[in-house]
Amino acid sequence: MKKIVDLIIEELTPAFEACGYDRQYIRVTRSNRPDLCEYQCNGAMAAAKAYKKKPIEIAGEVADRAKASRMFSEIGAVAPGFINIRLDPAYLSEYVSAVFADGKYGLETAGRPETIIVDYGGANVAKPLHVGHLRSAVIGESMKRIGRYMGHHVIGDVHLGDWGLQMGLIIEELRDRQPDLPYFDEDFEGEFPSEPPFTISELEEIYPAASEKSKKDEAFRERAQQATLKLQSGYAPFRAVWDHIMSVSLADLKKNYANLNVSFDLWKGESDAQAYIPGLIADLTDKGLAYESEGALVVDIAKEGDAKEYPPCIVRKSDGAALYATSDLATLIEREKDFSPDRYIYVVDKRQELHFIQVFRVAKKAGIVREETPMAFLGFGTMNSKDGGPFKTRDGGVMRLETLMQEIVKEVYKKIEEKQKVPEAERQRTAEIIGLAALKYGDLSNQATKDYVFDIDRFISFEGNTGPHIQYTIVRIKSILDKYGPGAAAGEILPACSGTEKELQLKICGFSEAVESAFFETAPHKICQYMAAVADAFNDFYQENKILAEEDKERQAGWIRLITLAKDILNTCMDLLGMDSPEHM
């Protein structure tokens, strides 16, 4: 379906042209002053320069011409040259009826579906998933879902950090603890055990212990580095330990992500890219892009017109080791080979921006990725605690995601226990659903690039701009619908007879625009803003109209359809952001 703003533009075009003005000047936006108008056309301001007339004159002429249209109940020019518009209630309700009947609430899906890779999650294997990875998972998951809803073929890749020094640290720590394991016997020739030599809780303890040790014990650190190199060059016993580390921590990671309602199509990692590195280096060298600088191999990325100076991208260190950038470039080779994507979206901490500028530029320069393929870096800010610094536990450590979730769920549980609205058997599950929405909405309602403060009391509140508030609104609508019973499902949305009803209808019409801008601007917070606006509009409408007590049965049935539509749209938005809503609250 066409968007209302576009339909208004179409409607105004003949009026503009009849008055002698070019249609290219017409601009229509939703007004943010509902007391003055619903939509605003500011085309006269732009046309004024071209036609050397006062904007108000142009606006007046056009508004007079357009008055006859049945689309508008009010159209008039106001100083300095805006055209203020209100929609005719019958026109609006017809449009909303069409939205109600449309499977995607008026959204037109992509005419040419793209293959899009979203690189998010980025957990580091064998290190606990901490709050630093939370944002990537939450934001990336929503971008994946929004892209799919738009009709694209979106592939989510977790891109694990599974090839770094942590592996050598674990191997050497394991050697110190269990020197008799066959992996450490150079003469061992049998088959390595299929059972891992550790459980997930042991593994979670081994890594921090090894990491601590390496800070104090230089010989140990040296051994860990050697072990990492040995693993990377394919030494079979270490590869066998690595396989164990991977299987044990992947099972745990999958569980953690599932608890966040986050899932990936690809569980690839840095290790998968290694096979492409020799070819990459040869290619960069053959093309004359890579050159030696202080022993390292580098590629220049500076471009004419750059506002700042960009250092060259190092693709090989002087000791011959590959780097983070090398592995990201090699990963692109694999992705191009497997999927030839039309677009990339990377959801990573914004402190890694320079790294991605370097990687993207080298990829294009070397022809790994086509020049016209958009590569978006969605860099996000830090989650801070109330006292200002980055989020920590009470004892100052980095908080694990699991612990954080448990705390939120515990708080929500207390709250719903007090309220006594949720049957006891549902309480735990309900607390989990609400807790997750509290956490995700608390994150997603902020512009991703900005830092935000983790404020559990605010996030779990049923009032204000929170996830639970949206859920509460959905639950409230469901309860009205349950009380009303079946019988109003099919039929038209009726012309609004009050301001709050019309406002709700107008908000409903904004769905497609909200989803599109969230997608094109890689800005999931636009969907939060939209949901909050729909929820507010519903709540105002509900305050003013006693739906269940309404005596005019036809009007009542129209309202039931309208709030059903509001609920369905809110639920769809929740789903786009990876959240659910409970049955009771």
Residues that bind ligand ARG (CB under 6 A): 119, 122, 124, 159, 161, 328, 346, 348
Closer Cβ to ligand ARG, 261 or 358, answer by number: 358
Dist. CA 169–CA 226, nearest whole Å = 10
In whole angstroms, how close is the CB of 354 to ligand ARG at the nearest point?
12
Residue indicated by tokens 């790294």: 355
- Minimal CA–CA distance to 355: which of 331, 332, 377? 377
Closer Cβ to ligand ARG, 159 or 507, answer by number: 159
Residue 129 DSSP SS3: coil
Dist. CA 319–CA 334, nearest whole Å = 25
Closer Cβ to ligand ARG, 124 or 505, answer by number: 124
Residue indicated by tokens 């009947």: 101
In whole angstroms, how close is the CB of 176 to ligand ARG at the nearest point?
26
Closer Cβ to ligand ARG, 349 or 580, answer by number: 349
Dist. CA 462–CA 441, nearest whole Å = 12
Q: Are strands 115-119 and 153-157 parallel, antiparallel or unpaired?
A: parallel
Residue nearest to ligand ARG (CB): 122
Q: What angle do CA 349, 350, 351 make, to 5 degrees?
A: 90
In whole angstroms, how close is the CB of 157 to ligand ARG at the nearest point?
8
Closer Cβ to ligand ARG, 159 or 365, answer by number: 159
Contact criterion met (CB below 8 Å) for 153 and 112: no
Q: What phi, psi does 167 have (nearest 5°)?
A: -70, -45
Cβ neighbourhood burial of 560 (10 Å; 0-12, 13-18, 19+): buried
Percentages of the chain per state (helix, strand, coil), in multiples of 5: 55, 10, 35
In whole angstroms, how close is the CB of 348 to ligand ARG at the nearest point?
4
In whole angstroms, how close is the CB of 497 to ligand ARG at the nearest point?
53
In whole angstroms, how close is the CB of 125 to ligand ARG at the nearest point?
9
In whole angstroms, how close is the CB of 269 to ligand ARG at the nearest point?
9
In whole angstroms, how close is the CB of 124 to ligand ARG at the nearest point?
5
Closer Cβ to ligand ARG, 159 or 469, answer by number: 159
* Range list of H helices, 381-466: 401-419, 427-444, 456-459
Residue 545 DSSP SS3: coil
Closer Cβ to ligand ARG, 402 or 411, answer by number: 402
Cβ neighbourhood burial of 233 (10 Å; 0-12, 13-18, 19+): exposed
Tokens at 304, concatenated? 């004419």
In whole angstroms, how close is the CB of 369 to ligand ARG at the nearest point?
13
Q: What angle do CA 262, 167, 353 make, to 5 degrees?
A: 55
Alpha-carbon torsion angle 466, 446, 399, 393, nearest 10: -70
Closer Cβ to ligand ARG, 192 or 324, answer by number: 324
**Helix (H), strand (E) at residue 217:** none
* Range list of H helices, 289-352: 324-339
Closer Cβ to ligand ARG, 130 or 526, answer by number: 130
- Minimal CA–CA distance to 576: which of 525, 520, 521, 509? 525
Cβ neighbourhood burial of 487 (10 Å; 0-12, 13-18, 19+): exposed
Distance (Å) of CA 317 to CA 135, 196, 224, 478: 31, 33, 18, 60
In whole angstroms, how close is the CB of 275 to ligand ARG at the nearest point?
17
Q: Are strands 296-299 and 290-293 parallel, antiparallel or unpaired?
A: antiparallel
Closer Cβ to ligand ARG, 183 or 377, answer by number: 377
**Helix (H), strand (E) at residue 76:** strand 72-78
In whole angstroms, how close is the CB of 449 to ligand ARG at the nearest point?
16
Closer Cβ to ligand ARG, 204 or 513, answer by number: 204
Those residues whose C-beta lies under 8 Å from the C-beta of residue 112, and which sit 6 or more positions away, are: none
Residue 300, beta-bridge partner list: none
Closer Cβ to ligand ARG, 124 or 249, answer by number: 124
Tokens at 381, concatenated? 């800010």
Closer Cβ to ligand ARG, 347 or 579, answer by number: 347
In whole angstroms, how close is the CB of 325 to ligand ARG at the nearest point?
9
In whole angstroms, how close is the CB of 345 to ligand ARG at the nearest point?
11
Dist. CA 125–CA 122, nearest whole Å = 9
Closer Cβ to ligand ARG, 59 or 203, answer by number: 203
In whole angstroms, how close is the CB of 347 to ligand ARG at the nearest point?
8
